[in-house]
Amino acid sequence: MKKIILTPNPYRDRNFDIVRSARDILQEAGFDVKICLPFEMERTADFPRDIRFHRLDRELPGAFMVVCFGGDGTILHMAKAATRQGVPILGVNMGTLGFMAELESSELSMLRNLADGKYTLDERMMLDVTVHRDRDIIFHDICLNDVVVTKGAVARIVHLNVRCDGIQAMECNGDGVILATPTGSTAYNLSAGGPVVEPEAASILITPICAHDMVSRSIVASDKRVITVGLVKNTHRSAYLSVDGGKALRINAGDVTTVKKSPLTTKLVRLKDRSFYDVINQKFKNS
């Protein structure tokens, strides 16, 4: 019996009604269904007694699929763990735009198609991110959407040097810079004036944030490039690095952030026959 993991978002599905419906549909279709919280919750949280919660780290290895409930942020959070285990993700949108989600909460009946193999897998490029401080690696992660280096909350300009394969591509003076995958092109990259790129494209997007000049523009680089970001020399200020909207890491002058294509890919489950352009037209029309 194939195991499917359901990861609810208690902040969006407070009574777990959507997850209950999905569980019943999948169990009727013959799947072994496990419900796992995707993140730590306070012990005082009031959970329904009729739902048994399992540990995600124990259930994820060997799982057939993860059905992730929430917005794009919830899917991004789950993508790292699922991808490292080679488990595909099916997103059920309970947020606002939900570019990566395949189903709306009103379309749960389509989950029955999984039992008949009526689905496809959409492989999405990821980025590998490393921060070096002198000879030490102080940070390493993978991401599906973007890597963002910013000035932080204070009202000042950060001076960044962006290099592709060791050659200067951009000196960015402003709020920071975004390095995005094609999947992440419709996220922060789009808000900062970057291009929308098809998810199947092989590229890394470099987009300055609120550049304090008239010439800085987005660059669409090949996925074969190795991109480095560092504070401009003689700059004594710090900057902050965030991967897929996660907790910020303070980086100092002399630190080097290296971004390149990851050998890992996130596999998103598709149940509908629609193109990327259908998705963006629908999402932007309804936003």
Q: Just list the catalytic residues.
A: 72
* Contact (CB, 8 A) for 64 and 2: yes
Instruction: State whether residue 126 is helix, strand or coil.
Output: strand
CA–CA distances in Å: residue 192 to residues 113, 178, 182: 38, 9, 15
Question: SS3 string of 135-204?
Answer: CEEEEEEEECCEEEEECCCCCCCEEEEEEECCEEEEEEEECEEEEECCHHHHCHHHHCCCCCCCCCCCEE
Counting Cα atoms < 13 Å in the Cβ hemisphere of 219 gives: 20
Residues 180, 172: Cα–Cα separation, whole Å: 16
Task: Return all residues near 244 (Cβ < 8 A) that are at least 6 apart.
Answer: 76, 77, 79, 80, 143, 144, 145, 146
* Residue 255 structure tokens: 């630190």
